[in-house]
Amino acid sequence: MTRLLVWRHGNTDYNAGGRVQGQTDAPLNARGRDQAAAAAALLASFHPDVLVSSDLSRAHDTASALASLTGLSITPDPRLRERHFGEWQGALLTDIESQHPTEYARWRAGDPSPGCGIESLDDLAKRVVEALQDAAELAPGGTVVVTTHGGAARQGCGALLGWPNEATRTLGSLGNCHWTELTDRSRRVGGTGWQLTAHNVGVPS
């Protein structure tokens, strides 16, 4: 059985300030570094075999907290970056709502391609699920920790489970430094492929 732990990065000033990060390279703040250290202590108890991360610093630095406890090296993968938010990257959500009310409403309603240069959900799912599958193949039958971003994690996990966008939207957002656990039982007799084992697990913050 292969276990995949899809871990969201720690808090940043963009998270705290209500800004859209997308693929901007916002670093962890002090709270985010503390969250990463606390979560890493829990994740280390899973005895991971492989550690893969988005190449954006907030994810890589989160992964580094676990790498320091396990001695694992971090394999960077740019496919694990957050959804690209086009014109909205770095902007306050309140400003986006007032300046782009139509597109904002479409985004909030789950439109897979709301405009303003935002990456479509289908494109996001395609690159992230490919990254998750490749990560899992690095340790068949083992435990793989993948450090990524909130939107990327949800869409990638939904795609790996074979869910349509409407079902994927029912997964609540991951808290900072929380993770989703997926297991692949396809190598067992009568196995059913990837299954959702747990969601939004982590240290309360």
| Token pair in block for residue 167 | 């079902």
Choose among 75, 52, 71: nearest CA to 153. Answer: 52
Q: Is residue 109 part of a domain?
A: no
Distance separating alpha carbons of residues 180 and 174, to the nearest angstrom: 8
User: Is the confidence at residue 190, as pLDDT, over 90?
Assistant: no
pLDDT by residue (tens digit) across 39-65?
999 999 999 999 999 999 999 999 999
Ligand-binding site membership of 47 (annotated): no
| Token pair in block for residue 151 | 């939107």
Ligand-binding site membership of 175 (annotated): no
**Number of domains composing the chain:** 1
Q: Which of 9, 60, 100, 149 is catalytic?
A: 9
Say what the pLDDT of residue 105 is.
98
| Token pair in block for residue 105 | 């409403």
Choose among 107, 197, 199: nearest CA to 154. Answer: 199
* Entry pTM: 0.95
Average pLDDT estimate for 124-138: 98
Q: Is residue 110 part of a domain?
A: no
The enclosing domain of 71 has a CATH number of: 3.40.50.1240
Say what the pLDDT of residue 35 is.
98
Distance separating alpha carbons of residues 129 and 124, to the nearest angstrom: 8
Ligand-binding site membership of 13 (annotated): yes
Ligand-binding site membership of 83 (annotated): no
pLDDT by residue (tens digit) across 81-117?
999 999 999 999 999 999 999 999 999 999 999 999 9
Residue 204: pLDDT band (50, 70, 90) is: confident
Q: Is residue 58 part of a domain?
A: yes
Distance separating alpha carbons of residues 55 and 78, to the nearest angstrom: 5
Q: Is residue 35 part of a domain?
A: yes
Q: Which of 60, 82, 178, 181 is catalytic?
A: 82
Q: Is residue 184 part of a domain?
A: yes
| 9 part of the active site | yes
Q: Is residue 96 part of a domain?
A: no
Q: Is residue 154 part of a domain?
A: yes
Chain centre to alpha carbon of residue 25: 15
Tell me the percentage of the chain whose pLDDT exceeds 70.
96
Count Cα neighbours of 153 within 13 Å in the Cβ-side half-sphere: 30
Say what the pLDDT of residue 132 is.
98
Tell me the percentage of the chain whose pLDDT exceeds 90.
94
Say what the pLDDT of residue 21 is.
97
Average pLDDT estimate for 69-83: 98
Ligand-binding site membership of 165 (annotated): no
Ligand-binding site membership of 10 (annotated): yes
Q: Structural domain of residue 158, as residue ranges?
A: 2-84+119-201
CA angle, 173 then 123 then 157, to 5° = 40
Q: Is residue 12 part of a domain?
A: yes
The mean pLDDT value of the chain amounts to: 96
Say what the pLDDT of residue 196 is.
97
Residue 147: pLDDT band (50, 70, 90) is: very high
Ligand-binding site membership of 58 (annotated): yes
